[in-house]
Chains A and B, each alone.
Chain A
Amino acid sequence: RQVTVQRKEKDFEGMLEYNKEDEALLAKTLINDIRPSTVSGTVPCLPAYILFMCIRHADYINDDQKVESLLTSTINTIKKVLKKNNDDFEMTSFWLANTSRLLHCLKQYSGEEGFMTHNTPKQNEHCLKNFDLTEYRQVLSDLSIQIYQQLIKVAEGIIQPMIVSAMLESESIPSLAGVKPMGYRNRSSSLDTDADGPTSYTLQALIKQLGQFHNTMQDHGLDPEIIGQVVRQLFHCINAVTLNNLLLRKDVCSWSTGMQLRYNTSQMEEWLRANNLYQSKAAATLEPIIQAAQLLQVKKKTSQDAEAICTLCTALTTQQIVKILNLYTPLNEFEERVTVSFIRNIQNRLQERNDPPQLLLDTKYTFPVLFPYSPSALSLETLHIPASLNLDFLVRV
C-alpha cells in the first residue's frame, strides 16, 4: 500500500516562503509571463492569493524590507503588464480581478475588526502579525481604479463602432425590413453592399460582444459588483452614442426606427435579466433612448398628445425633445409632419423644468467607480499551486 508522506493540510499555515533573490523570478513568472488561460480551471484570482501568501510569510518573519520590496515589485510588474496589453480586454480584466483581490486580502487579513466579521476562526489566525499595510492598500486601490479605467476604454473601443448600426440601422425586427422614411435609402443594406465601406453590425453581434466581456470577467473571478459597474458604464456609452446619432440624423427619426429602437432596448434589458445584472443600474442608463423611441412612436397632434409627451419624456431635456420632434420624418404620404404649433405647445409646457440647454450627451462621462470590500471564503492553507505555474521555488509553510 502506498504510504502518504505528504503533510496534511492542517499542518500548513497558509504561507509561502521564498528566497529574497527569487523575488524578481516570482514577479516574472507569476505576473509578467502568466496568461489567464494558464490558471483557468483553478481557484479564481490564484496569483493574488499566492502573492498574499508570500507577503504573509515576509510579515511572519518580521522582514519589513521583504514585504515592501515584494509589494513594490508586484505593483510595478502589474503596471508593466497593463501597459504592454493596453488594448487587451482579457489581460486587463484578469489583472483587475487579481489586483482588487489582493487589495481585499490585505483588508481581510489586516487584523482590523471591521474587516474580520465574516472571517472563520482559521482566517483570523492568518491575519498579518507585524505590519500595517494601510498605505499599500491605498496604492492598490489607486491601481485598481487605473486598471478599471483601462478596461472601460478597451471595451468601449470594441463596441463603439458597433453601436449605431446595431441600435439604429440594423433590422432586428424582420417585418420592418425596408420600412424607411420617404426619400431615404435603406442605409444598412447599402452599407452591406459597399465592400470598402464600414462594416455593419447587428444587435445580436453587439449583445454577443457584451456576453463575451461578461463571461471573461466572470471567469477571472472579478467581483459581481465591479462587473455590474463595467456593464453600467458600457450601457451608458451605448445610450449616449445612440441618442446623439438620433439627435443628428433625420433619416433615423421615424416611427419605424422608434419601433426598432424600442425592440432593441428591450432585448438589452432581457440580456441584463438573463445575466442577473438588472440590479446593476445599467437598465436605468437606457432610459433616454427608451423614451426617445417612445417619442418617435406616439401621436404628436393634439394638446393631450403634448401633455402625454411631457409626462413621458422625463429623461430627455427640452432641447432633445424639441430636436427629435423637429427632425421627425413621416414614413409615407398618409403621415403628417409635426406642426410648429405642436412643438411650441410642448416648449411652453416644459418651460418650468428649467432644463440645461444641453443637446448631446457626454459619451465619455464615467460614473465614479467603487470597489466594495468583498472578503473571500477561501482557506489559505488549502491552496494548491499547479506545477504548470513553475513556482517550485516557493515553499508551502
Chain B
Amino acid sequence: RPPSRPRILLKAPTLAEMEEMNISEEEESP
C-alpha cells in the first residue's frame, strides 16, 4: 500500500448552520 500523507481537514458547518446559510441565500435571491 502506498504510504499516505496526512490529509487536510475540511471544516464543515453543522447541518443547522448550513440550513441558515441556505435560507439567507434564498431570501437574497429575487
A residues at B contact (CB < 8 Å): 64, 67-68, 71-72, 75-76, 79, 111, 121, 124, 127-136, 138-139, 142-143, 146
Q: Which of B7, B11, B12, B14 is close to A130, meaning CB atoms less than 8 Å apart?
A: B7
What are the residues of chain B within 8 A of A146 when measuring CB–CB?
Answer: 15
What are the residues of chain B within 8 A of A132 when measuring CB–CB?
Answer: 6-10
Interface SS majority for chain A: helix
B residues at A contact (CB < 8 Å): 1, 4, 6-15, 18-19, 22
Closest B residue by C-beta to A73 = B22
What are the residues of chain A within 8 A of B1 when measuring CB–CB?
Answer: 121, 124
Shortest beta-carbon distance from A67 to chain B in Å? 6
A134 to B4, CA, bound (A): 16
Question: Can you add 8 more A-B contacts, CB < 8 Å, to A132-B6, A139-B14?
Answer: A79-B19, A79-B22, A111-B7, A132-B8, A132-B9, A135-B12, A138-B14, A142-B15
Shortest beta-carbon distance from A39 to chain B in Å? 25
Q: Is the CB of B8 within 8 A of A71?
A: no
Closest A residue by C-beta to B7 = A132
What are the residues of chain A within 8 A of B11 when measuring CB–CB?
Answer: 135
Closest 4 CB pairs of A and B: A135-B12, A132-B7, A132-B9, A142-B15
Q: Is the CB of A142 within 8 A of B7?
A: no
Shortest beta-carbon distance from B11 to chain A in Å? 6
A72 to B12, CA, bound (A): 9
Q: Is the CB of A139 within 8 A of B22?
A: no
Q: Is the CB of B4 within 8 A of A75?
A: no
Knowing A76-B22, A79-B19, A111-B4, say if A133 contacts B14 (CB, 8 Å): no
Knowing A124-B1, A139-B14, A146-B15, say if A64 contacts B22 (CB, 8 Å): no
Shortest beta-carbon distance from B22 to chain A in Å? 5
Q: Is the CB of A136 within 8 A of B4?
A: no
Q: Is the CB of B18 within 8 A of A139?
A: yes
Closest B residue by C-beta to A137 = B12
List 21 interface pairs A-B (beta carbons < 8 Å), by A numbering: A64-B10, A68-B10, A76-B18, A79-B22, A121-B1, A124-B1, A129-B4, A130-B7, A131-B10, A132-B10, A133-B10, A134-B9, A135-B10, A135-B11, A138-B12, A139-B13, A139-B14, A142-B14, A142-B15, A143-B15, A146-B15
